[in-house]
Amino acid sequence: MPDPQPGSRGTLLATGAAGFIGSHVAVMAMQAGWRVVILDDLSNSSRDSVDRISALGGAQVELVQGDLCDAAVLDRAFALGPIDAVLHFAALRFPVESVHRPAAYYRVNVGGSAALCEAMERHGTRRLVFSSSCSVYGQPPVIPVPETCPRAPLTPYGATKAVGEDLFEAAATALSWSVFNLRYFNPVGAHPSHELGEAPRTITNLVPVVMEVAMGERDSLVVYGREHGTPDGSCIRDYIHVMDLAEAHMVALGATADSSGCRSYNVGTGRGYSVLEVVEAARRATGHAIPLTTGPARPEDVAEVVADSSLIQQELGWRATRSLDDMLVDSVGWRRRWAQR
Ligand SMILES: NC(=O)c1ccc[n+]([C@@H]2O[C@H](COP(=O)([O-])OP(=O)(O)OC[C@H]3O[C@@H](n4cnc5c(N)ncnc54)[C@H](O)[C@@H]3O)[C@@H](O)[C@H]2O)c1
If you take atom 1 of ligand 1, which residue's CA is the nearest one?
187
3-state SS, residue 274: strand
Give 29's pLDDT tier (boundaries 50, 70, 90).
Answer: very high
Reduced 3-state DSSP string for 65-131: ECCCCCHHHHHHHHCCCCCCEEEECCCCCCHHHHHHCHHHHHHHHHHHHHHHHHHHHHHCCCEEEEE
Which atom belonging to ligand 1 lies closest to the Cα atom of 134?
Answer: 6
298 within 8 A of 251, measured Cβ to Cβ: no
Task: Name the residue of 40, 97, 239 to mutate for ligand 1: max ligand atoms within 8 A of Cβ.
Answer: 40
CATH of 10-189+239-254+263-268, one of 3.40.1000.10, 3.40.50.720, 3.90.660.10, 3.40.50.2000: 3.40.50.720
Contact between 190 and 198 under an 8 Å Cβ cutoff? The reply is yes
**The pLDDT of residue 246 is above 70:** yes
**pLDDT tens digits, one per residue of 152-200:** 999 999 999 999 999 999 999 999 999 999 999 999 999 999 999 998 7
Task: Identify which of 93, 96, 113, 237 to mutate to test ligand 1's pocket (most ligand atoms within 8 A of the CB).
Answer: 93
pLDDT at 2: 62
Higher pLDDT, 276 or 203: 276
Mean per-residue pLDDT of the chain: 94
Report the b/e string of 279-289 with b at 16+ CB within 10 A.
bebbeebbeee
Q: Which of 113-127, 259-273, 283-297 is predicted least confidently?
A: 283-297
The pLDDT score that the predictor gives to residue 1 is: 58
Question: With 90 as the cut, is the pLDDT of residue 215 above it?
Answer: no
pLDDT above 70: percentage of residues in the chain: 99
Q: Using 50, 70 and 90 to split pLDDT, how confident is the model at 201?
A: low
Q: Are 36 and 29 within 8 A, CB to CB? A: yes
In sequence order, what are the residues at sequence separation of 6 or more whose Cβ sits closer than 8 angstroms to the Cβ of residue 254? none
Is pLDDT larger for residue 133 or for residue 213? 133
Report the separation in Å between the CA atom of 109 and the middle of ligand 1, taken as the mean of its atom positions: 9
Residue of minimum CA distance from atom 44 in ligand 1? 93
> Of residues 173 and 214, which shows the higher confidence score?
173
Identify the pLDDT of residue 217.
Answer: 84
CA dist 203 and 319 (Å) reads 29
The pLDDT of 318-341, averaged and rounded, is 92
53-112 pLDDT, tens digit per residue, is: 999 999 999 999 999 999 999 999 999 999 999 999 999 999 989 999 999 999 999 999
Q: In angstroms, what is the span from residue 287 Cα to ligand 1's centroid?
A: 31
Confidence of residue 203 (pLDDT cuts 50, 70, 90): low
Give Dmax over CA atoms of the chain in angstroms.
55
The ranges assigned to domains in the chain are: 10-189+239-254+263-268
Distance CA(291)–CA(107), nearest Å, equals 39
Cβ atoms within 10 Å of 109's Cβ, excluding its own? 24
Measured by CA distance, the residue closest to atom 2 of ligand 1 is 187
Res 7: pLDDT: 82
At 102-141, the pLDDT tens digits run 999 999 999 999 999 999 999 999 999 999 999 999 989 9
Catalytic site positions: 157
Residue 79 near residue 104 (C-beta atoms within 8 A): no
CA of 2 relative to ligand 1 center, distance in Å? 33
Q: What is the arrangement of strands in the sheet containing 304-305, beginning at the earlier edge strand? A: 273-274, 236-237, 304-305
Element (H, E) at 166: helix 156-175
Asked if residue 299 has pLDDT above 90, the reply is: no
- Rounded distance from Cα 158 to ligand 1 centre (Å): 13
Q: Which atom of ligand 1 is nearest to the CA of 43?
A: 37
Q: Which three-class secondary structure string do you get for 131-151? A: EEEHHHHCCCCCCCECCCCCC
Confidence of residue 15 (pLDDT cuts 50, 70, 90): very high
Residue 76 neighbours by CB distance under 10 Å: 15
Cβ atoms of residues 13 and 30 within 8 Å: no
* Confidence band of 21 (pLDDT split at 50, 70, 90): very high
- Is 15 exposed, middle or buried, given 0-12, 13-18 or 19+ CB atoms closer than 10 A? buried
* DSSP track, 5-26: PTTTTEEEEEETTTSHHHHHHH
Output the ligand 1 site: residues, CB below 6 A: 16, 18-22, 40-45, 67-69, 89-93, 108, 112, 131, 133, 184, 186-187
* Ligand 1 centroid from CA 232, angstroms: 31
> Ligand 1 pocket check: which of 24, 42, 43, 98 to mutate, most ligand atoms within 8 Å of Cβ?
43
pTM: 0.96
Question: What's the rounded mean pLDDT across residues 322-328?
Answer: 96
Tell me how far the alpha carbon of residue 231 lies from the centroid of ligand 1, in angstroms.
32
Any residues with CB less than 8 A from the CB of 287 and at least 6 apart, and which? Answer: none
Ligand 1 atom nearest the C-alpha of 135 is 6
Q: Yes or no: say if 80 and 62 are a contact pair by the CB < 8 Å rule.
A: yes
Ligand 1 atom at minimum distance from 68 CA? 32
